[in-house]
Amino acid sequence: MDPTSPYAVDFTIDVERETRLIAVRVTGVPSPEDVGWIAEEVRAAILTLGADAGRHRTLYDARGVHVLPQATADFVLKNFTDIEGTQWAHRLAFVASTMLTRLQVRRIVEVRPGAMLFDDVEAARAWLLGSG
């Protein structure tokens, strides 16, 4: 990584097959390119569900993201609203802790059917795994 770069990101993806849950944890300051790579990894994880791909639920834990640079926020919004070629999750939950990140994520929730924003992971998981 370029030591002068304002971007630094880390992420994990866990697949819970029995509940069809994809759990993504992101920390740092992601660039648009980082988001693109993470999205490709998430798609690959979704495809491991086989016939359940498209009936899955996705949890994005962004508590470790304190701000999205404007270019990244715009890129994320475009990707979540572009339904062409997208593996839509049955439900999509975001967890964010800072006011700015919550405002940025709220833009996605407003345009993405089946998406909600939460304060904590437990509430997000309960909603994702609840009936409906």
pLDDT, tens only, 116-130:
999 999 999 999 999
pLDDT, tens only, 80-100:
876 655 567 879 999 999 999
Element (DSSP H or E) covering residue 26: strand 21-29
Task: Quickly name the fold that domain 8-125 has.
Answer: Transcription Regulator spoIIAA (3.30.750)
* C-alpha atoms less than 13 angstroms from C-alpha of 43 in its C-beta half-sphere: 11
Average per-residue pLDDT for the chain: 89
pTM across the whole model: 0.89
> Which stretches in the chain have pLDDT values below 70?
1-6, 82-87, 131-132
Boundaries of every domain in the chain:
8-125
Identity of the amino acid at 127 = W
Closest of 11, 47, 51, 46 to residue 28, by C-alpha: 11
Neighbouring C-beta atoms of residue 39, cutoff 10 Å = 16
106-111 contacts, C-beta under 8 A, 24 or more apart: 107/73, 107/77, 108/76, 108/77, 108/80, 108/81, 111/77, 111/80, 111/81
CA dihedral 53, 64, 73, 29 (to 10 degrees): -120
